[in-house]
Each structure stands twice: as structure tokens, then as C-alpha cells.
Amino acid sequence: MIDKAYLATNENIWSGRNDGEDYDLQRWHQRVDVIDLSTSEIPPLAENQKGIALIGFMCQEGVKRNKGRLGAIDGPYELRKACANLPVHFSEELKVVDLGNIQCLNEDLEQAQINLGQLITKALLSGYQPFVWGGGHEIAYAHYLGIRDFMDQKHPGKTLGIVNIDAHFDLREPNPLPSSGTPFYQIAQDQKERGEDFNYLVIGIQKNSNTKRLYNIADELGARYISGRRLTEADKVGTTHKLVGFMDKVDFIYQTTCLDVFAAHYAPGVSASAFNGISPNPTFMKLFKKIHKSGKVISSDIAELNPTYDIDRRTAKLAAALSFEIVKD
């Protein structure tokens, strides 16, 4: 099934301004190697070499089931275009590959999640850190499946922590089907069946975006959260302490960002915009960087980029700025 769902990236997407071939003049489009997995294998890394594997998740079925605005299926395409002209500020030895996309065929979200999980596992086993671009936030359960299988093979007994930057808990129970609003509930149930802890921290949560029931479920599952109103200079010590305390207790981190966490004037192009979302201000960016400089991030993604509703490509540019921070040295 994964062969049918796979779509290689068109190399022409990775194009843009060319200031020269010297390394300190280069932009992302000059460094990203596009790999067609239908004809090639994931390139091997040299000993001690690091690699980033870009993967697109062309899926909005979870958003559709969750009654959100459609259009996120084109998110990976737009994010590639937005990142193409970013200047290179990462090591010359870092290998960045674009492994293509997983599509959701025939509204079969569950199979699409399995397919994405398998590709993430494959990238991890090849030594790369996956960086996945969605698509709806149903990406999270797929991502967990891939990381879980990798850890079972290579790091049994190690603990996984999830840091979700989001206005929503996404802890709804499937009713009856899973959606973009259920991934972390599904993960919690899987972890419970495996006899493992559910280590979940949400940054940016908004009371007017979650029912009281969802807060109760979060408390019952032991989830931790930082309110969006706490992402200020005045609260930076407390929020940083809470984040560091969480990261210190786990071995690996899966970091996921839902773009609807940001206020609508920063991120209009999402499946569910928020007028009072957070700002990508210095306080937030310091927290974001701290996560990715921790040395514990095993894989990450950005979800809910919806080009249909983007204004002046603001959301795509914001997502590209976050991508820049994840990949740069």
C-alpha cells in the first residue's frame, strides 16, 4: 500500500535565488537532495555524519473528520517553496534529503498513518532525523507509530516525551473514527496498553479552544501544559523551568507544532484560526530553540499549514522560519 501512497517530490520545487556556489552563499535549494524512493534507496550517511530527512504528509482527512477548513493537503508543497530560498546556516557536513510524500488515498486515514509511520521508521533506522511537513495534525499519531517502532528496535526501555506546541490538547476520543483532534488520546491509549508512561506537554494551550472535558481528560492522563498567556517575558522563568523539568525526565523527544497555536494575523492559513493565539515573539522563540538544542529531539513536524486561507503567504513564511531554527546549527 505504501508504494501506491508514495509521491516523489518534483525537483523543480527546490529552486530560487542563486548567489553563487560558495558554501557561505548557498540557500536551501542548493543543498537539498531530492530522493525518489520508488527508484532509489535512502542515501547512507558517513560515519558520525548527521542527516535531516524531509517528508511531506499530504493528508487532510483528519481535518475533514474534525470539521475543519480543508486545504492542508497542499501544506507540504507550499512549505517546500517557502523554505527553498532560506540561507544555509547549518554545517556543510549535514546531509539534507527530501524523501517525498505520503498521500492519503480513498479517505483511508488509518492506512496513510501506517504508511507515514513506516517511512519515518525507515528514515530513523538510516540515521536521519525526520522532519515532516503536513497536512493536518493527524500527522501526530502517524509520527508516533514511526518513532515507537524505531525505539522498539534500537532503544528498548528508553522513554519518549512529546512536546506539542498547540492551542488544542487534541485529546478527544475517536467518535467513532480518529481525526486531527484525537492523535494524543490515541497515543495515550497505546502507551497504556504497552505499560509505558504518557509523557505529554502542550505549550500554547487556550481555554477558549478546549472544553472543560478536555481539561479533565488531560488531568486524568497526566498531561502537562503551559497556557498561551504564559508565553511572555514576565513568565519566561516559570515556563522555561516547566519545559526543562519535562525534558529532563525523558530520553527522547518528539516535537510537533500545530500552526493554529499562533494568532490569526501571524497564521491565517490554518485549518482552525485563533484570533488570540500566541505570538512568535522572542520569549516563544527562546523556548522553541531550547527544545531543539536539548539534544533529545528524535523527530519533529509542522502541521496544519493551509495555503487556501493564507494571506500574503504569512503562515508559510512563519512555518519556514520555524523550520530554519530546527535545521540550523
Does the N-terminal peptide bond of residue 176 adopt cis geometry, omega within 30 degrees of 0? yes
**Which residue, chain included where needed, has cell 548527521?**
50
pLDDT at 108 over 70: yes
CATH code of 320's domain: 3.40.800.10
Question: Is-contact 166 270, C-beta < 8 A?
Answer: no
Among candidates 98, 71, 74, which has minimal Cα distance to 14? 98
168 assigned binding-site residue: yes
Average pLDDT, the chain: 97
- What does the pLDDT read at residue 218? 98
Across the range 117-133, mean pLDDT stands at 98
Exposure on the CB side of residue 237, measured as CA atoms within 13 A: 1
pLDDT at 14 over 80: yes
- What does the pLDDT read at residue 325? 97
Query: How far is the C-alpha of 78 from the C-alpha of 280, rounded, in Å?
Result: 20
pLDDT at 228 over 60: yes
Question: Is-contact 318 267, C-beta < 8 A?
Answer: yes
- What does the pLDDT read at residue 1? 54
- Rounded to whole angstroms, what are the CA distances from 247 to 50, 128, 201, 244, 291? 22, 21, 9, 5, 8
- What does the pLDDT read at residue 49? 97
pLDDT digits (tens, 9 = 90+) for 266-306: 999 999 998 889 999 999 999 999 999 999 999 999 999 99
- What does the pLDDT read at residue 276? 87
pLDDT at 86 over 90: yes
Question: What is the four-CA torsion angle of 292, 198, 170, 60, rounded to 10 degrees?
Answer: 70
Q: Which helix (H) or strand (E) holds 38?
A: none
- What does the pLDDT read at residue 2? 72
Across the range 199-223, mean pLDDT stands at 97
How far the first Cα of the chain sits from its last, in Å, is 37
Query: How far is the C-alpha of 147 from the C-alpha of 264, rounded, in Å?
Result: 31
- What does the pLDDT read at residue 329? 86
- Number of structural domains (the chain) is 1
Q: Is the pTM of this model over 0.75?
A: yes
Per-residue pLDDT band for 320 (boundaries 50, 70, 90) equals very high
Across the range 235-255, mean pLDDT stands at 97
| Domain region containing 144 | 2-327
pLDDT digits (tens, 9 = 90+) for 151-198: 999 999 999 999 999 999 999 999 999 999 999 999 999 999 999 999
- What does the pLDDT read at residue 154? 98
- What does the pLDDT read at residue 118? 97
260 assigned binding-site residue: yes
- What does the pLDDT read at residue 298? 98
